[in-house]
Chain A
Amino acid sequence: AQSVAQPEDQVNVAEGNPLTVKCTYSVSGNPYLFWYVQYPNRGLQFLLKYITGDNLVKGSYGFEAEFNKSQTSFHLKKPSALVSDSALYFCAVRDSGMNYGGSQGNLIFGKGTKLSVKP
């Protein structure tokens, strides 16, 4: 069965420092990987995704993520954190090997990581 793990409930970073939010996954086929951000009292906003090709994916607001097949990871990164980046971040996976006629084609989400950036 496909699954996603976000091992850190919370990540604290000082403004201007680089940030990393970790995500590991488990699928039977090749993964499609997504990152979403949720600001307080808002819906989820799409940040970036990995489908195929270059392992480094660039997304919105200066975020990027690195796909590592051998480590089954898709960590979210940003070179210089802003206070406004403080939010809840979700990693999600869809298994390319699944039958999309059934529930297996749905996105599976991690439990989320709260990012706190202090001035």
Chain B
Amino acid sequence: NAGVTQTPKFQVLKTGQSMTLQCAQDMNHEYMSWYRQDPGMGLRLIHYSVGAGITDQGEVPNGYNVSRSTTEDFPLRLLSAAPSQTSVYFCASSYTVAGGQTQYFGPGTRLLVL
């Protein structure tokens, strides 16, 4: 299994541009989520999904959209990039969101917005 994969690894955007961060998993996990990591802030949840066709907002959803058309894929869209969205983005997945299920993380996408 490839586990959780993310593309691209690194991206530079100009303010106002849009882009999609890709995330895929091959473990048949129902639950997928997106986090952003900023220095001194830990990981903050952006959006999550408990199954295909179901998405919901996390702690910091503004400026981001998601969709979940298949179990495998969970893309994150930046509609109009802002410098405040400069961050490292991680996708994670687990069988479910319940109980002691372990979340597995992708390698991350480093985003710089100028």
Chain A residues proximal to chain B, CB less than 8 Å? 9, 32, 34, 36, 41-46, 49, 51-52, 90, 94, 96, 100-103, 105-107, 109-112
List of B residues within 8 angstroms of A9 by Cβ: 40
Interface pairs (22), CB distance under 8 Å: A32-B99, A42-B107, A42-B108, A43-B90, A43-B106, A43-B108, A44-B43, A44-B90, A46-B102, A46-B104, A49-B102, A51-B99, A52-B100, A94-B100, A100-B98, A103-B45, A103-B58, A105-B97, A106-B33, A106-B48, A109-B35, A109-B43
B102–A103 touching, CB < 8 Å: no
Q: CA separation between A81 and B105, bound complex, in Å? A: 25
List of B residues within 8 angstroms of A105 by Cβ: 97-98
List of B residues within 8 angstroms of A90 by Cβ: 42-43
A111–B42 touching, CB < 8 Å: yes
Most B CB contacts (10 A, CB to CB) among A36, A44, A96, A109 go to A44
Q: CA separation between A32 and B102, bound complex, in Å? A: 10
List of B residues within 8 angstroms of A44 by Cβ: 43, 90, 92, 105
Chain A's interface: helix, strand, loop or mixed, by majority?
Answer: loop
Most A CB contacts (10 A, CB to CB) among B44, B50, B97 go to B97
Q: Which of A34, A106, A112 contacts B58 (CB 8 A)?
A: A106
Q: With A43-B90, A44-B90 given, can you name 6 additional A-B contacts, CB distance below 8 Å?
A: A46-B102, A46-B104, A100-B50, A100-B97, A106-B97, A109-B35
- Convert B31-71 into 0s and 1s, putting 1 for each residue whose CB lies closer than 8 angstroms to a CB of A: 00101000011111100101000001110000000000000
B42–A110 touching, CB < 8 Å: yes
B99–A96 touching, CB < 8 Å: yes
A94–B99 touching, CB < 8 Å: yes
